Amino acid sequence: MDKVQDNRAWFLIIPVFLIVAFSAVVPLMTVVNYSVQEIFGPGQTFFVGTEWFEAVLKDDRLHDALVRQIIYSLAVLLIEIPLGILIALGMPGGRSAKTSLTLVLLALPLLIPFNVVGTIWQIFGRGDIGLLGATFRAIGIDYNYTNNSAHAWITVLVMDVWHWTSLVALLCYAGLQSIPPAFYQAAKIDGASKWAVFRYIQLPKMRGVLIIAVLLRFMDSFMIYTEPFVLTGGGPGNSTTFLSQYLTQMAVGQFDIGKAAAFSIVYFLIVLLFSFIFYTIITRTGEGEKK
């Protein structure tokens, strides 16, 4: 007897497709349309083809911002991923008040809005009223993130580490808690060292959450805007001006919609490319170790 299939369940996901279409696909198609148009006003447009894409790819300022963005995002990953793993390994396990308190304290930075984070560090780093700036001056270090490009860059990086390392730590902690106790018992019987336990038990079991952590932190750091804008305004000079700030200046400040649309598409493709590279490297590394 043939099995009867009931396809009425597909009607339940139609609202989801409609929401995705209006929130993602339609805006994307609109940006693609704008990227090949010269816009003078409502109803005043004409087709320019790939002219805006050529202008974006030949813009030296955007090239410099892209280099700064890549260096910044790689620095974020190199610091936050290992630091998050170390914090997760040092966190207490089990169901106790100590564990709950640790999780709450660790999650606090994640609850602070982006603009508030920038304001906090703006005040924190001031030499007259800020604790960080006053401390550096007290020990003889002339720290000034508003005039020194290196100080501004380091401050923005440390601010991001303070804000988002907790996310990596919480993800890694969730991965560690999913490891069955039998794994640790077997390792103890075999006399495995702490490094061997981490290398062959904990790290492989955290690979799934590490993929999520790497992709989230890369995409977020590559699109960072609010925190450095509030803290330094992109300065001194252009030392902390990233791609998102150039895009905002182009679209809002100059109202160059066509070029901004073309740049946003290039921006999106760069993020997609790097995310694919990171995902491929991590997954293939895991497959190689299994073999």
Average pLDDT over residues 163-184: 89
The structure tokens listed for 133 are: 């700036």
Structural domain tally of the chain? Answer: 1
Sorted by sequence, the CB contacts under 8 Å of residue 29 that are 6+ apart come out as: none
Does the pLDDT at position 290 exceed 70? Answer: no
In a domain, 210, yes or no: yes
Helix (H) or strand (E) holding 179: none
Provide the pLDDT for residue 167.
Answer: 92
Nearest to 218 by CA among 106, 116, 71, 99: 71
Could you give the count of Cα atoms lying within 13 Å of 145 in the half-sphere of its Cβ? Answer: 30
pLDDT tens, residue by residue, 14-67: 888 888 777 877 788 888 888 888 776 666 777 778 888 888 888 888 888 888
Residue 84, pLDDT score = 93
pLDDT at 291: 54
Q: How confident is the model at residue 159 (pLDDT cuts 50, 70, 90)?
A: very high
Kindly state whether residue 16 falls inside one of the protein's structural domains: no
- Check whether 200 has a pLDDT greater than 90: no
Higher pLDDT, 1 or 218: 218
Calculate mean pLDDT across residues 132-159.
Answer: 86
Say if CB 115 and CB 108 are below 8 A apart.
Answer: no
Structure tokens of 221?
Answer: 């750091």
Tell me if 54 is assigned to some domain: no
Q: Give the residue-averaged pLDDT of 103-129.
A: 87
Q: Which residue has the tokens 């030499």?
A: 127
Instruction: Indicate the burial class of 109 (C-beta count within 10 angstroms; 0-12, 13-18, 19 or more).
Output: middle
Residue whose C-alpha is closest to residue 149's, from 61, 42, 228, 261:
228
Structure-token pair, residue 284: 């293939």
Do the Cβ atoms of 210 and 142 come closer than 8 Å?
no
Give the chain's mean pLDDT.
84
The structure tokens 């696909």 sit at 25
Q: Is residue 204 part of a domain?
A: yes
Helical H segments across 131-256, by residue range: 131-138, 149-177, 181-189, 194-197, 203-205, 207-222, 226-231, 243-248
User: Closest Cα partner for 110 from 152, 150, 65, 160?
Assistant: 160
**Average pLDDT for 147-174:** 90
Domain that holds residue 225: 60-290
Q: Is the pLDDT of residue 1 over 60?
A: no
Does residue 68 sit within a domain? yes
- Residue 204 CA to residue 290 CA, distance in Å, equals 9
Specify burial of residue 88 (Cβ count, 10 A radius: 0-12, 13-18, 19+): buried
For the whole model, what pTM was predicted? 0.83
Q: What is the pLDDT of residue 6?
A: 66
Quote the tokens at residue 33: 């349309």
Q: Hey, which residues does 6 pair with through a beta bridge?
A: none
Question: How does DSSP classify residue 108?
Answer: G
Lowest-confidence region among 1-5, 250-254, 260-264? 1-5
Tell whether 4 is covered by a domain: no
Residue 269: inside a domain: yes
Lowest average pLDDT, out of 6-10, 118-122, 195-199, goes to 6-10
Confidence of residue 275 (pLDDT cuts 50, 70, 90): confident
Give the model's pLDDT for residue 288. Answer: 55
Identify the CATH number of the domain in which residue 268 sits.
1.10.3720.10
Q: What is the pLDDT of residue 26?
A: 79
Residue 9: predicted pLDDT: 72
C-alpha torsion sign, points 259, 264, 267, 272: negative
Inside any domain, residue 143: yes
